[in-house]
Structure 1
Amino acid sequence: MSDLDARLLAAHAAGDLDALVELYAEAAETARDDTARGFYLTHAHVYALERGHPKAAALRNRLVDMGREHPL
């Protein structure tokens, strides 16, 4: 298990939505392909929406740029 995986599991266990936003965004940056990148960005975006996190719009824009979300 990687350090990032361990931090993700700990954030899930703690219910730390702010950390989940940051960690899933970090995972997207290190993902090896677009499928994984989209998966991680989607999770980061969902947690950002739940939390009202200031990065929600930027995460959504990245998903739009990838063609995984539709522009408003």
Structure 2
Amino acid sequence: MSLDAQLLAAHAEGDTDRLVTLYAQAAASADDPDTAGFYLTHAYVFALEAGLPQAADLRAQLIETGREEPL
């Protein structure tokens, strides 16, 4: 199953943990920085909403890529 199909299925199922994982994978495999940032931001938002520990690492990646401001 393609990554897009997996994302759609995870959305339909409301599987937030899986969404975080899939969006992070999509970011890692993206061909350009803007697409990677889009997917990484989604992973971060879903991680925050679910209170997942991955949120801290995802935020650090966003800061590293200049898409989030450090505190």
Give the TM-score of the pair, scaled to structure 1: 0.96
Q: Distance in 2 between matches of 1:45 and 1:25?
A: 8
Q: Which residue of 1 aligns with 2:33?
A: 34
Deviations 1:23-70 (A, max 9, x none): 000000100000000000000000000001110000000000000000
Q: Which residue of 2 aligns with 1:53?
A: 52
Q: Which residue of 1 aligns with 2:15?
A: 16
Please give the root-mean-square deviation of Cα atoms over the aligned residues, in Å.
Answer: 0.8
1:67 equivalent in alignment to 2:66: yes
Structure 1 runs (4+) deviating above 4 angstroms are none
Q: Distance in 2 between matches of 1:50 and 1:42?
A: 12
Q: Distance in 1 between matches of 2:69 and 2:43?
A: 17
List runs of 5+ in structure 2 lacking aligned partners: none
